Amino acid sequence: MIAKDAIAQANEAPSSALEADYSALGEQLDRRGIDINAIKQKVANYGVAVPSWGVGTGGTRFARFPGDGEPRDVFDKLDDCGVIHQLTGATPAVSLHIPWDKADTNDLNAKAEQLGLTFDAMNSNTFQDQPDQTRSYKFGSLSHAETATRQQAVEHNLECIEIGKAIGSKALTVWVGDGSNFPGQTNFTRQFERYLDATKQIYAALPADWRLFTEHKMYEPAFYSTVVQDWGTNYMIAQELGEQAYCLVDLGHHAPNVNVEMIVARIIQFGKLGGFHFNDSKYGDDDLDTGSIDPFRLFLVFNELVDAEYRQVEDFDPAHMLDQSHNVTDPIESLIMSAMEVQRAYALALLVDREALEGFQEANDALMATKTLKQAFRTDVEPILAMARKEKGTAIDPISAFRASGYRAKVSAERPAVSGAGGGIV
Question: Between residues 418 and 425, which has the closer beta carbon with respect to Mn ion?
Answer: 425
Contact segment (CB under 5 A) with Mn ion among 70-78, 183-191, 277-285, 353-361 equals: 277-285
Question: Between residues 79 and 250, which has the closer beta carbon with respect to Mn ion?
Answer: 250
3-class DSSP assignment, residue 215: strand
Rounded to the nearest whole angstrom, what is the least distance from the CB of residue 423 to Mn ion in the complex? 15
| Torsion angle, alpha carbons of 359, 251, 275, 95, to 10 | -150
Rounded to the nearest whole angstrom, what is the least distance from the CB of residue 205 to Mn ion in the complex? 22
85, 277, 326, 390: which one binds Mn ion (CB under 5 A):
277
Question: Between residues 77 and 390, which has the closer beta carbon with respect to Mn ion?
Answer: 77
DSSP 103: -
DSSP per-residue letters across 158-193 = HHHHHHHHHTT--EEEE----EESSTTSS-HHHHHH
Question: Between residues 31 and 61, which has the closer beta carbon with respect to Mn ion?
Answer: 61
Rounded to the nearest whole angstrom, what is the least distance from the CB of residue 412 to Mn ion in the complex? 28
List 280's β-bridge partners, or say none. Answer: 288
**How many other C-beta atoms lie within 10 A of the C-beta of residue 16?**
9
Contact segment (CB under 5 A) with Mn ion among 87-95, 140-148, 182-190, 274-282 equals: 274-282
80, 250, 261, 289: which one binds Mn ion (CB under 5 A):
250
Q: In this structure, which long-range contacts are made by residues 101-107, counting pairs with CB atoms below 8 Å and at least 24 apart in sequence? A: 101/52, 101/74, 101/77, 102/74, 102/163, 103/73, 103/74, 103/75, 105/163, 105/166, 105/167, 107/75
Rounded to the nearest whole angstrom, what is the least distance from the CB of residue 54 to Mn ion in the complex? 11
Rounded to the nearest whole angstrom, what is the least distance from the CB of residue 125 to Mn ion in the complex? 12
Per-residue binding string, Mn ion, 11-50, x by CB under 5 A, is ----------------------------------------
Query: Applying CB under 5 A, does 120 fall inside the site for Mn ion?
Result: no
Query: Applying CB under 5 A, does 330 fall inside the site for Mn ion?
Result: no
Distances (CA, A) of 21 to 255, 306, 348, 393, 416: 40, 25, 17, 19, 43
DSSP 278: E
Q: Check if the beta carbon of residue 226 is closer than 8 Å to that of residue 219.
A: yes
Question: Between residues 97 and 194, which has the closer beta carbon with respect to Mn ion?
Answer: 97
| Pairing status of strand 319-322 against strand 273-278 | parallel
Question: Between residues 85 and 277, which has the closer beta carbon with respect to Mn ion?
Answer: 277
- What distance in Å separates the CA atoms of residue 118 and residue 177, rounded to the nearest whole number? 28
Rounded to the nearest whole angstrom, what is the least distance from the CB of residue 40 to Mn ion in the complex? 30
Q: Check if the beta carbon of residue 74 is closer than 8 Å to that of residue 163.
A: no
Distance of CA 232 to the CA centre of its chain: 21
Rounded to the nearest whole angstrom, what is the least distance from the CB of residue 278 to Mn ion in the complex? 9
Rounded to the nearest whole angstrom, what is the least distance from the CB of residue 392 to Mn ion in the complex? 28
- Binding-site residue total for Mn ion (CB under 5 A)? 3
Contact segment (CB under 5 A) with Mn ion among 56-64, 229-237, 322-330, 334-342 equals: 322-330
Contact segment (CB under 5 A) with Mn ion among 20-28, 96-104, 273-281, 417-425 equals: 273-281
Q: Check if the beta carbon of residue 183 is closer than 8 Å to that of residue 146.
A: no
Contact segment (CB under 5 A) with Mn ion among 116-124, 143-151, 316-324, 351-359 equals: 316-324
Contact segment (CB under 5 A) with Mn ion among 21-29, 143-151, 242-250, 313-321 equals: 242-250
Rounded to the nearest whole angstrom, what is the least distance from the CB of residue 83 to Mn ion in the complex? 23
Inter-helix orientation angle 331-350/366-377, to 10°: 140
- What distance in Å separates the CA atoms of residue 153 and residue 129, rounded to the nearest whole number? 11
Rounded to the nearest whole angstrom, what is the least distance from the CB of residue 288 to Mn ion in the complex? 13
Distances (CA, A) of 163 to 171, 175, 214: 11, 18, 19
Whether a cis peptide bond, with omega within 30° of 0, leads into 295 is no
Query: Applying CB under 5 A, does 323 fall inside the site for Mn ion?
Result: yes
**How many other C-beta atoms lie within 10 A of the C-beta of residue 341?**
22
Residues that bind Mn ion (CB under 5 A): 250, 277, 323
